[in-house]
Structures are given as C-alpha cells and as structure tokens.
Amino acid sequence: MHSSVVITLLLAVLQAVVAKDLRTVTEPKIPSACSSLSGTGKDETSTIQKALTSCAKGKALHLASGTFLSGPLTIPSGVSLWVDSGVVLKASTNPNDYDEGKNTCGTLDSSGSGCKPFITIKGATGTGIYGKGTIDGQGGQTMTGKSESWWELARDAQTKKKKQNAPRLIQIDNSKDITLYLITLKNSPNFHVASKSTNGFTAWGVTINTPGTARNTDGIDPMGSQNITIAHCNIATGDDNVAIKAGNAATKHVSILNNKFGVGHGMSIGSEVNYGVSDVTVTTLTLDGTTNGLRIKSDKSRGGLVTGVTYSGVCMHNVKNPIVLDTQYSSASGSHIPTFKGITFSNVKVLTAGTFTFDGISDSNPVEATMSNVHIKSGSKWVTTHAKISGKYETDASGNSC
C-alpha cells in the first residue's frame, strides 16, 4: 500500500477512536445546485424564499454572486443553501421583519422571545448551509427605525436587568443530519448557531468572526442534541465559542475536533444541564485570548449530571481562567444539583498564568477530575473547593504561542 494511503487510513482510524459522535463523519460535499441567483444588494427575501421552497430535495439553492439582503428565511427539509465564495447574505436590520407577533422584536422585556431567527431549519432531514461565502447578521448596525444596534440593545438589557429581543442567526429545531460547511458567519445579533433537539449535526470548516464586545453572541450551541461533530472551525465571538446545553433533553455523543478559538468565553458546557451531558470529547483545540478555556458551569436551578467528558491536545494562550469546573456559577436556588464527574484532562498546555477553579457542591458531591500530562504556567492560581482531582499537573509550561 502507498504510504500516504496508510497514513490517511491511520488518521481515519484515530479519528474514529477519539470521536464520541456515533456516526462516521467525513468531510461534507456541497450538493449540486437546483438554481442560481445573483444578488443585487436590495431586499431579496421573497426571491430567495421562493427558490428555496421550490428547490428539489438533495439539491442546494446557489447564491452565486453579489450581495443579498434578506429578512427571515426557512430552509425546507432536504434542501440546502449554498453561499458561494465572495457572496454576502446580509440579515435585515428591521426588527419588524423578525417580529413573532407581539411587537416586541427590537425591544427589551422579561422574556426575550419576540424575534424569529434569521435562518430557520425545523423538522428537517439532510438540510445544510454550504460554501465559502458569508452570512452577516449586521448586529452592530443601527436597527431600522431605532437609534441603537442589536448589540447596544443587548448591553441595555444587562444594565436594566431585562432581556433583549434580538434574532439568532441560525436556529435548528427537531431535525436530523444537518450540515454547516465552510460558511463564514459574522455579527449575529444574538447566538450564531443553536441546534435544539437535533440528532446528527456537523459543523465543518465554519468560521465565526464577531467582536468580543458583542453580548450573548454564542458561536455554536448544541442543546438537547445527539451525534454532534464540530470540526476544523475557527470561532471568535462575544460569548461562549461553543456551549453544550441540556435544558430540554440530554446532550450526548459530541465530538469537538481540531478547532481554533479566538476571543470569546471559551469551550463551555452549561449552564443548563438538567437532562445531563455525557460522552463528549474535545480533541486538538487551541484557545487564544478567550476569557475562559475549558469550562463546565451550572447552578442549583439548572444542574444535572455532566460525565464522560475528555479534553485532550488542548493549548491555551492569554486565557484568564483556563479550567473552570463551577457548580455554583450563579447563586440561583433550586433542586437541580450539578454533579460533574468523569472529567479528564490530558495533554493540556497553558502558556500564560491564569486561575484554575474546581468548585463542587459539597464534600459528598465533589467535582471529580483526572489530570494527565497537564502543564501550566508558573504563577497560576489553583482554587479547589469540594474537588477530587486525581493525577497531577506541572507548572513548567513554556513558549509564547500554541
């Protein structure tokens, strides 16, 4: 056998060994086009939606050139959207376009559920978003008919202790085998990608590039979902780069492979873990400039069991809180007690000093973690309360970049 074939096979086997996603996931392929459109820069919501609705299953609507402006879109089951290289699909800045009927999109209230997402994938099988083009949520632009941007609205919500009604960029609900491939997502008004109650989700070669100051702009959030692969992605944003949640159903069989995170709040699990998170691997990850590195966070109002989580081949630089296992992320009360156990850190290198926190609920319910080949920078702070840590770490990390 040719040696490169042997190496390729070997890599495939290695990948299969580390993967927790039960599917065999390989690099996606862009489906062929059902039709092509050229953007004019003007509002093209109905043109795009009609073309998506009439696209044959297994094919993709090809946005082939130019800039498109659009309000909310729904991608039907089996159909894909292909945003080609150089093409920009811009989300409307008009809150009325997204309003759920309560006239609250673009305002503050106590629920924050007044806006439709920009792109909805719901009850779909085999739908995807492909291509080297860009989907721009325009979160920093002044909203139509208002005096502030979606991000300024989100800041206001924080100071006024309310919730902002701002659209997510891509919402995937109750679906199967959904793919995001090569696409660049930026400036989402809220979360970039949420996949809820979805079995089979792949984000491969996706770039998310949004300022660190843009509040609540999570990168990719699998929620109550199974068989997830997030691979070869580059994620910089204003909240969790990735956040695995389980507030509506269990999330398990998750592979986070070969990714790079820039600014953001890090590789997170939580805060909602009520239904449990298990069988997660984070393998080969670089974090540079995130506030947190590897974090599991919850509290008594939304805790549950988080177990079978392995982090390996992780390098961090300029990360304030490189490892955080925090069962008391907020002081919220309740009977949903967080339990974090079977958490493994192996081959982890942290090049700059930071604070490491292991904070369990009680001595009878400590956070349980294992360390092997963990090298951190001298001068770091190591804080443990109700924690059972086996293995050890060394304060001998050196080097200026990952």
Ligand X SMILES: *[C@@H]1O[C@H](CO)[C@@H](O)[C@H](O)[C@H]1NC(C)=O
Enumerate the active-site residues.
265
Pull the structure tokens for residue 399.
């080097």
- The strand pair at 193-196 and 170-173 is best described as parallel
User: Pattern 21-50, binding to ligand X, x per CB under 6 A?
Assistant: -xx---------------------------
195 or 290: CB nearest ligand X: 195
Nearest residue by C-beta to ligand X? 199
Interaction residues for ligand X, span 285-314 (CB under 6 A):
none
User: Pattern 204-233, binding to ligand X, x per CB under 6 A?
Assistant: ----------------------xx------
CA distance 54 to 52: 6
CA distance 190 to 143: 14
Q: How far is the CB of 389 from ligand X (least distance, A)?
A: 32
CB atoms < 10 A from the CB of 35, how many? Answer: 15
212 with 187: CB under 8 angstroms? no
User: Pattern 138-157, binding to ligand X, x per CB under 6 A?
Assistant: --------------------
CA distance 381 to 270: 23
Q: How far is the CB of 340 from ligand X (least distance, A)?
A: 23
Closest CA to 353 of 326, 318, 323: 318
Number of residues that bind ligand X (CB under 6 A): 5
107 or 198: CB nearest ligand X: 198
Closest CA to 256 of 220, 230, 293: 230
Kindly state whether residue 337 participates in binding ligand X, applying the rule CB under 6 A. Answer: no
CA distance 234 to 305: 29
279 or 288: CB nearest ligand X: 279
Q: How far is the CB of 60 from ligand X (least distance, A)?
A: 23
**Residue showing tokens 């292991």:** 358
Give φ, ψ of 296 to 5 degrees.
-120, 120
Q: How far is the CB of 226 from ligand X (least distance, A)?
A: 4
Please calculate the CA angle 30-34-38 and round it to the nearest 5 degrees. Answer: 90
CA dihedral 238, 241, 247, 249 (to 10 degrees): 150
Q: How far is the CB of 256 from ligand X (least distance, A)?
A: 16
169 or 178: CB nearest ligand X: 178
226 or 291: CB nearest ligand X: 226
Closest CA to 299 of 251, 260, 267, 331: 331
The single residue among 190, 195, 199, 202 that binds ligand X, judged by CB under 6 A, is: 199
CB atoms < 10 A from the CB of 271, how many? Answer: 22
Q: How far is the CB of 305 from ligand X (least distance, A)?
A: 18
CB atoms < 10 A from the CB of 36, how many? Answer: 14
Q: How far is the CB of 173 from ligand X (least distance, A)?
A: 15
199 or 292: CB nearest ligand X: 199
Closest CA to 324 of 364, 361, 359: 359
CB atoms < 10 A from the CB of 26, how many? Answer: 11
Q: How far is the CB of 20 from ligand X (least distance, A)?
A: 10
304 or 360: CB nearest ligand X: 304
SS3 content of the chain, % helix, strand, coil (to 5): 10, 45, 45
**In which element (H, E) is residue 18 found?**
helix 3-18
User: Pattern 62-91, binding to ligand X, x per CB under 6 A?
Assistant: ------------------------------
Core vs surface per residue 300-316: b (16+ CB within 10 A) or e: bbbbbbbbbbbbbbbbb
133 or 224: CB nearest ligand X: 224
Give me the residues that bind ligand X (CB under 6 A), please.
22-23, 199, 226-227
